[in-house]
Structure 1
């Protein structure tokens, strides 16, 4: 006997079932969606909007789609003074004072960058709450001087993803799990997870991330935005919670290369507290937008690094389409360029980072207020052990524990690791390839399609081209190149030290040729055919 259900009952069951399913975030036609810096400036100039109203719109959007249990969790803290600062900048505008292209533009920065204001600087760790920073990082002081509005701080992989080898990108004790705006059960990559998500999801105009190895370019790629990892020394690192004095740098992330480039030039400058900036004064520019050439690919010799290819057919297909687009735009491609003997590297980079992390972090902690309880990495290890439920519910702190065993930077083991990393990445790597093939840049896929978040087993990535430019301290720019089943894929352009101008020209030519960015829909999970 067949059971027959009344159609009204069936409709009721269907409605209940639908209500229980994860729902896409409703953005209700956000007024500032995909608005560029130039478009925001035009709004303020013609009176359509003020800096205050623009900030308020972004704040409302953050409250609507970022906060709460089902939110993106890209923003770790809003600046309580943002609207007051915006009002002051509106007053300046009314008086005819415009500081530059960033005047009144809301920007967010990663929560490992010091701000001497009413916000915290914690690297995502609960241990650093109430550390009471008194002084802005050098780049933050430059940011304020430019007229930009510091809207808030972004979540990150705790300690910039240098606490556990089994971490989940975008998770921190303070900010919890950041989610990818294309499919919210997928990873945003890290460590600049919140910065990538915030700008991609239109929570602000531009963001700042930091990178030691991949932490700008990977979240840019997975979140469908542009990321510029500058030459180490182009931007000061003073006032940024460190991992590596040889590899660390902050950099801009934006929905367009133009927006990111505007920010790039605004924050350059020599800083007496960062000796790496000493060499940059003669080779940097206050305005890098002058190098954004729509014909930037024409006549350029670009070497294809296929090392990260062959691991995903969808990524490979996008790369081949990208290479074809470059050739069509006049680029001369040199195929299968080799980049050093990576197998000789062994654990040298890891060894170098462990030494530099202990040295740099201990120095940073020692500079906090006198009565702050955590002055060494050993203190942090003890804190995490005492607060396991909050700080280590999913993964541990084995990187901290390894770093604690290391000695001074005068140790022979450190000096050997440093020399080997620089030889393989620079002398026998990027420098050799550029000179041997007379290249203007090297191109490679940036990374994988976003993987499903797994806080128990950690990240599941296989594709990366960031290590060589990261170890060398050389510039690396990623721009959207396409998507696999709706998940963004980025393409990276890198070269030797202080070649930002040349790389920007090439990357801009590619961006304008392909226009591959897609706007995220904040889907709860990936919609597969």
Structure 2
């Protein structure tokens, strides 16, 4: 039976390999060939690991020898190019300044290998995770150029995990890893019609990942289904002594499979973010709510998050200082080759402006440099305290006060047309409160909007739960995904692999 790799989940791939109808070598070769064929038009993948075929062959040998398959045995995975996978490939964060930097393998990459995954390569991203300029366009980097939305190439793929989202949506990989400081997993996932999970801060190690801020950064899975996201998150989660924020993760293990649950009696608080700003989004969100209500969900409509705007302003003030502190630490860490400080990086960009800054500048870098990364500064301390206090107060008051299982909101408006240098045309975003508070946030595909050219632009619906309730949120998201129509596939060649070929 042929495998439709737009639709076959990880359990289906595992079953095909267990029965002998499929090998990791054939699966990896399929994705490698598809990347070579389609990615020149998409710009999602910056490098394929030269050892990928051997990794797959080693997985097949383990299976043939009767070794028990591990959680991701033989499954190809692409990772965002701000996390190291070891010496085979550079870790650039999209910048030519780090073009020769090959630091030690990130903890998350080690955990993927320990779970049996094939590290297939690196995905493009918004350079420096979109934290160099307020005029930047999501998905562009000096290393990888512009990542294009496979549903409409003139439109944004969102960011900063643009390449990871596009790679999954285009069936260049079954799984990708993204990172998020605020919106960088959920926005590209929604705009490309896939699932993206930002876990509770501290669930996944950040060791070996190019940072913005230790107060908000996290990695997370980007997949076709919630069930796949759960499996991947279970593989990469856990305590890392080198990352103290993960200390509590051992007490909150992520289940390999989301618990089976229906929607009857589930209480969802409806956050109507920027209602009226995007009629297409409003219509799709209303249709989603009606489906969920029809499946027995109880909608508390609306719930308010009154501190959102004030928290967002304080967030940027805090992030600028934290970036200066954390990027200096990263650039000076073992194995990192390139500028040794933010000051040297700013100078590098000035000297290589024709490559690094052809469309926009580095005013966020310069603002960060001016703070000297002083996290004892009173203005900084007040900003971080304001951002966290307001965000956690809002979410905890909504979740507890209304006895909610989750807050539900639209993830995104339809993807906008890219104009390099004009900045991102965000109409709405529901990511900030969960990002600052450290709460888990997952988006699942939820309808779409016409693109004006006969196609459809995907939209997503967000679910935000209590801190450390990632397993419960995954179970709820799986039930929501099951209730909603199938995700919108991009107009690309079919991704069909003969299982017995």
Give the TM-score normalised by the residue count of structure 1: 0.90
Tell me if the contact between 2:24 and 2:59 (Cα under 8 Å) persists in the aligned partners. yes
Distance across 1 between alignment mates of 2:43 and 2:68: 33
Question: Which residue pairs with 2:128 in the alignment?
Answer: 159
1:81-96 equivalence runs, <5 A: 81-96=51-66
Question: Which residue pairs with 1:74 in the alignment?
Answer: 44
SS in 1 for 2:222: strand
Question: Which residue pairs with 1:474 in the alignment?
Answer: 439
Q: Which moved more, 1:305-314 or 1:487-496?
A: 305-314
| Deviations 1:381-417, CA, capped at 9 Å, x for gaps | 1111111111111111111111000131111111111
Question: Which residue pairs with 1:59 in the alignment?
Answer: 32
SS in 1 for 2:143: coil
SS in 1 for 2:42: coil
Question: Which residue pairs with 1:440 in the alignment?
Answer: 405
SS in 1 for 2:196: strand
Alpha-carbon offset, residue 442 of structure 1: 0.3
Alpha-carbon offset, residue 328 of structure 1: 1.2
1:181-192 equivalence runs, <5 A: 181-192=150-161
Question: Which residue pairs with 1:39 in the alignment?
Answer: 12
Alpha-carbon offset, residue 367 of structure 1: 0.7
Alpha-carbon offset, residue 340 of structure 1: 2.8
Judging changes above 3 Å, is the alpha-carbon distance between structure 1 residues 200 and 294 closer, same or farther for their aligned structure 2 residues? farther
Alpha-carbon offset, residue 31 of structure 1: 5.7
Question: Which residue pairs with 2:284 in the alignment?
Answer: 318
**Paired residues, number:** 486
Question: Which residue pairs with 2:497 in the alignment?
Answer: none
Counterpart pick for 2:365 among 400, 405, 421: 400
1:237-316 equivalence runs, <5 A: 237-285=206-254, 287-291=255-259, 293-295=260-262, 297-316=263-282
Tell me if the contact between 2:280 and 2:413 (Cα under 8 Å) persists in the aligned partners. no
| Deviations 1:254-303, CA, capped at 9 Å, x for gaps | 01111111101111111111111011211223x34142x251x2211110
Distance across 2 between alignment mates of 1:99 and 1:352: 44
Question: Which residue pairs with 1:10 in the alignment?
Answer: none
SS in 2 for 1:298: coil
Question: Which residue pairs with 1:146 in the alignment?
Answer: 115
SS in 1 for 2:219: strand
Counterpart pick for 1:112 among 72, 82, 87: 82
| Deviations 1:460-517, CA, capped at 9 Å, x for gaps | 1211000000010110000000010110000000022111122112211110011330
Judging changes above 3 Å, is the alpha-carbon distance between structure 1 residues 344 and 72 closer, same or farther for their aligned structure 2 residues? closer
SS in 2 for 1:465: coil
Ranges in structure 2 where 5+ consecutive residues have no aligned partner: 451-455, 494-501
Question: Which residue pairs with 1:327 in the alignment?
Answer: 293
Q: Which moved more, 1:36-45 or 1:459-468?
A: 36-45
Question: Which residue pairs with 2:453 in the alignment?
Answer: none
Alpha-carbon offset, residue 518 of structure 1: 1.4
Tell me if the contact between 1:294 and 1:512 (Cα under 8 Å) persists in the aligned partners. no
Greater Rg over alpha carbons, structure: 1
SS in 2 for 1:250: strand
SS in 1 for 2:285: helix
Residue 107 of structure 2 is aligned to residue 124 of structure 1: no
Residue 324 of structure 2 is aligned to residue 354 of structure 1: no
Question: Which residue pairs with 1:526 in the alignment?
Answer: none
Tell me if the contact between 1:184 and 1:522 (Cα under 8 Å) persists in the aligned partners. no
Judging changes above 3 Å, is the alpha-carbon distance between structure 1 residues 346 and 46 closer, same or farther for their aligned structure 2 residues? closer
Tell me if the contact between 1:183 and 1:522 (Cα under 8 Å) persists in the aligned partners. no
Alpha-carbon offset, residue 45 of structure 1: 2.0
Q: Which moved more, 1:321-330 or 1:35-44?
A: 35-44
Judging changes above 3 Å, is the alpha-carbon distance between structure 1 residues 461 and 130 closer, same or farther for their aligned structure 2 residues? same
Question: Which residue pairs with 1:497 in the alignment?
Answer: 467
Distance across 1 between alignment mates of 2:44 and 2:177: 13
Distance across 1 between alignment mates of 2:258 and 2:147: 35
Counterpart pick for 2:421 among 432, 456, 462: 456
Judging changes above 3 Å, is the alpha-carbon distance between structure 1 residues 174 and 344 closer, same or farther for their aligned structure 2 residues? closer
Distance across 2 between alignment mates of 1:72 and 1:80: 21
Distance across 2 between alignment mates of 1:328 and 1:373: 56
| Deviations 1:68-112, CA, capped at 9 Å, x for gaps | xxx100001100000011111100000011332310000100000
Residue 329 of structure 2 is aligned to residue 363 of structure 1: yes
Residue 382 of structure 2 is aligned to residue 425 of structure 1: no
Question: Which residue pairs with 1:49 in the alignment?
Answer: 22
Tell me if the contact between 1:124 and 1:175 (Cα under 8 Å) persists in the aligned partners. yes
Question: Which residue pairs with 2:499 in the alignment?
Answer: none
Judging changes above 3 Å, is the alpha-carbon distance between structure 1 residues 267 and 356 closer, same or farther for their aligned structure 2 residues? same
Ranges in structure 1 where 5+ consecutive residues have no aligned partner: 1-28, 524-529
Judging changes above 3 Å, is the alpha-carbon distance between structure 1 residues 355 and 141 closer, same or farther for their aligned structure 2 residues? same
Judging changes above 3 Å, is the alpha-carbon distance between structure 1 residues 183 and 346 closer, same or farther for their aligned structure 2 residues? closer
SS in 2 for 1:520: coil
Alpha-carbon offset, residue 342 of structure 1: 3.1
Report the aligned-residue RMSD.
1.5
Judging changes above 3 Å, is the alpha-carbon distance between structure 1 residues 343 and 147 closer, same or farther for their aligned structure 2 residues? closer
